[in-house]
Amino acid sequence: MSTTEFELRTQHHDAMVDITSRVAQAIRDSGITDGLVMVYTPHTTSAITINENADSDVIHDILKQLDEMVPWRQPFFDHSEGNSAAHVKSSMFGASETIPLAKGRMTLGTWQGVYFCEFDGPRRRRFIVTVTGK
């Protein structure tokens, strides 16, 4: 098993940052060719997801739709920090993704990439990549 921790600094309040290449580098560095890779964020206002990485409009559309579904300011939020929308969005996506590995590569679809989702930025963030297998 191999675990690598990465840092990133997000630039916007809401963002989806393509981290596919960093995850791939952690896999290469691990020397593991067949197994699983788990990508995890230890923050309650961020998430990890897999989605299209060929057309950036997809990411813009996702973020716009999320803002419509969970607006930043809502009269019924009780959380005193004022970032309840970020917590809701994080829970909608989840803190991790697990991807099968075959021959040293993630078995992502042709247009898929791994994204770090920021919902309460800009901030300095971490994500953890754990590779298991043989």
DSSP string, 38-79: EEE---TTEEEEEEE-S-HHHHHHHHHHHHHHS-S--TT---
> 83 pLDDT exceeds 80?
yes
pTM to 2 decimals? 0.94
Q: Which range among 21-25, 82-86, 121-125 shows the weakest confidence by mean pLDDT?
A: 82-86
How confident is residue 82, by pLDDT bands cut at 50, 70 and 90? low
Domains of the chain (ranges; CATH) run 2-133 (2.60.120.460)
Q: Which residues contact 1 (CB under 8 A, 6 or more apart)?
A: 130, 131, 132
Pick the closest to residue 20 from 111, 87, 121, 89 (CA basis): 111
